[in-house]
Chain A
Amino acid sequence: MPIDLRDHKLDRAFGHLDVSGTGEIDREDVLGLGARLLVGFGESPTSLIGRRLVDGFDGIWTALTRSLERDNDARLSPEDFRKGMTAAFVEGSGYDAVFRPAVEAVAELCDQNRDGTIGMREFRLMLGAFGTAYDDVGEAFDRLDRDHDGILTVSELVLAVREYYTGDDPHAPGNWLFGPL
C-alpha cells in the first residue's frame, strides 16, 4: 500500500509536467514548469531567486536522468519518472543536495514579503502553475497548515513537499500538497 501511494503521487507529479498529454516528458517540460512559476510571480530568471529556481529545476532533471543512466535530452515515460524519482530522491541521497534547494527556491518565490510565511494568494498562484483546480487549493492550504493558524510557513511548505514526493505515510499532511489525491 505505501509503495502504491507514492507511485500514485509521482504519477500525478508526472501529469504536472506532461501538459501536452503526450505520455512523455523531457527537460523542456521541467523548465517550462519553472518558467510558469516564475512568470506567475513576475519574477525574472535573472533575479537571485529566479536563477536559483532555474538551476534547481535543471538540477532535478539532471539527477533524474542520471539515476536512469539516460542522457539529459532523454524523454521519460511515467514508469521512467517513478523509477528515476525513487532512485534519485527516495532511495538515493539526492533529496537534500538537489531536490530541496529547488523546493526552497519555490518557497522563497512564494514568500513575497520575505517574512517566512506564504499567504493563500501566493499559495494559489503556486498551485495554479501546477494545474491544481481552483476549488482544491483552499483545502490543500488548510491541510498543510499544521498548527491551524491560517498561515503557511515556508518550513511547513518545504516539509509538505518532502512528504509528497518521497513519503509513504497515508496520513501525512503533505499528501494534500496539490489537493485531494
Chain B
Amino acid sequence: MRSVLKSLSSLIPRSRVPARIAAQDLLPLVERVPAMAAPCRMHPSVYAIEAAVIDWARRTGLRADPGVGFHRLAGRAFAEFDAAAAALFAQWLTWLFHLDDELDEGPCPLDIFHGLLNGSAEHPLESSFADLWRVTSSRMSDHWRSRFAGHLKIQYDACRTEAENRLTGRTPTLTEYPALRRGTVGPYLFDLVEPCLRVEVPAWLHSSEPWQELVEACSDVTAWCNDVASKPKEHGDPHNLVVLATREYGLDEQAATAWVLDRIAERCYDMHVAARTLPLGDVDPKTARDVSKVACAFLAAPRAHLDWLLESTRYA
C-alpha cells in the first residue's frame, strides 16, 4: 500500500499532492499483523447503503457528509451480509460520530446522555437515537437492551472522567488509559453487530473471558489506531495514546507512534487467541455459526477501520 501511494503521488503535480495524513503511519500494520494483511471485501450495494444513510440523516436532522464514508466502513464490516445490515450500522456510526462532536464541541455535552437514557427526543441526537433504538432494540432481548444501556452509562462515566481531567489538567496514566478509552469509544458500538446481523450472543457466552477479551482487544485496536490518525487534530490533549507515550517515556512523536503500533500488534494477537478459545463446542451448531459471524465482524474490524481512516475526509 505504501509503495502504491508513493508511486501514485509522484505522478501528481507537486501543487496538487495532498498533505500527508497521520493515518498513513498505520500502514506498517498491514505487513506486521497477519490479520490485517488483506483488504476487506466491499459490499456490492455500497451506493445503496450510502443513500440509506443520507436519507436517514436528513429525516432525523443530522448532517450527512458522504466524504466521511461511514457507508464504506459499514460496507466493509458487513460485506457478506444484506445491505440493510450494513445500512443500519452505518446509521449508528453517523449518530455516534455526531455524539463525539457534541461531546467535544457542544455547550453542555454530558447532558445529552441524560436525554438518551430518559428517552427524550428534543435534540436531533436524541430523536435520531430514538429512531435507531426503535428499529434496533425490537430485534433483541431485554438482556441485550440492558447490556446496551449499561454500556451507554459506561461511556457517560468515561466522558465525565475525561471532562474532569481536562478541567483540572490531569493526565491519565498509561495503566488507566486503555479502560478509559474503551469507555469513551462507546462499548455499545460492539453490541450493535448482533442486531445488525439479526443474531444474539447467549448471555453466558458474552460474559465469558474469551468473548470479553475479544471485544476489549478489538476496542483497543480500533481506539489506538484512531489515536494515531487523529493526533494532529487533538493539539496535545493527553487523552491520546501517542501523546501519553511521548510524555511517559520521553519519546519523540515518531518513536511514540512506533510504540503504539507495537501495542496495537500485540492486541491483534490477543484477538486471535481469544477467538480461538471461544467455547463454540458448548453451543448448538446454529448458535455457533451465529456467534462466529459476530466474532468475524470483530476480527475484520481492525482492517476495515484502517481502510476507512485512510480514505475518510474526517482525518484528512
Residues of A within 8 A of B (CB): 19-21, 28-29, 31-33, 35-36, 38-48, 50-51, 54-55, 58, 128-129, 131
Chain B residues contacting A129 (CB-CB under 8 Å) are: 288
B13 at the interface (CB under 8 A from A): no
B299 at the interface (CB under 8 A from A): yes
Return the contact of B80 from the options A20, A43, A47, A54 (Cβ within 8 A): A54
* A38, B288: Cα distance in complex, Å: 12
**A33 engages B304 (CB within 8 Å):** no
Can you pick out 15 interface pairs between chain A and chain B where the beta carbons lie within 8 Å of each other?
A19-B288, A35-B293, A36-B289, A38-B292, A39-B296, A40-B280, A42-B275, A42-B276, A44-B296, A45-B40, A46-B299, A47-B36, A47-B38, A50-B299, A128-B281
* A21, B287: Cα distance in complex, Å: 12
Q: List 15 extra interface pairs beyond A39-B278, A39-B292, A47-B35, CB under 8 A.
A: A19-B289, A32-B290, A35-B289, A36-B288, A38-B296, A39-B291, A40-B292, A44-B296, A45-B300, A46-B36, A46-B39, A46-B304, A47-B36, A48-B34, A54-B80
Nearest to A45 among chain B residues (CB) is B300
Give residues of chain B (269-316) contacting chain A, Cβ–Cβ below 8 Å: 271-278, 280-281, 284-286, 288-293, 295-296, 299-300, 302-304
By secondary structure, the A interface counts as helix
* A35, B275: Cα distance in complex, Å: 11
Return the contact of A45 from the options B281, B286, B296 (Cβ within 8 A): B296
Return the contact of B292 from the options A29, A32, A46 (Cβ within 8 A): A32
Contact with A along B33-46 (1 / 0, CB 8 A): 01111111100000
**A42 engages B80 (CB within 8 Å):** no
Nearest to B298 among chain A residues (CB) is A44
Contact with A along B241-253 (1 / 0, CB 8 A): 0000000000000
Of residues A19, A28, A36, A48, which shows the largest number of chain B Cβ atoms within 10 Å of its Cβ?
A: A36
Contacts A42-B272, A42-B276 given; indicate if A47 touches B37 (C-beta within 8 A): yes
* A41, B292: Cα distance in complex, Å: 11
CB distance from B197 to the nearest CB of A (A): 9
Chain A residues contacting B273 (CB-CB under 8 Å) are: 42
* A128, B41: Cα distance in complex, Å: 26
Chain A residues contacting B41 (CB-CB under 8 Å) are: 51, 54-55
Chain A residues contacting B299 (CB-CB under 8 Å) are: 38-39, 42-46, 50
**A44 engages B285 (CB within 8 Å):** no
Closest 3 CB pairs of A and B: A42-B276, A44-B35, A51-B38
Give residues of chain B (12-52) contacting chain A, Cβ–Cβ below 8 Å: 34-41
**A39 engages B295 (CB within 8 Å):** yes
**A43 engages B293 (CB within 8 Å):** no
**A46 engages B303 (CB within 8 Å):** yes
CB distance from B228 to the nearest CB of A (A): 18
Nearest to B210 among chain A residues (CB) is A42
CB distance from A76 to the nearest CB of B (A): 17
CB distance from A131 to the nearest CB of B (A): 5
**A46 engages B40 (CB within 8 Å):** yes
B133 at the interface (CB under 8 A from A): no
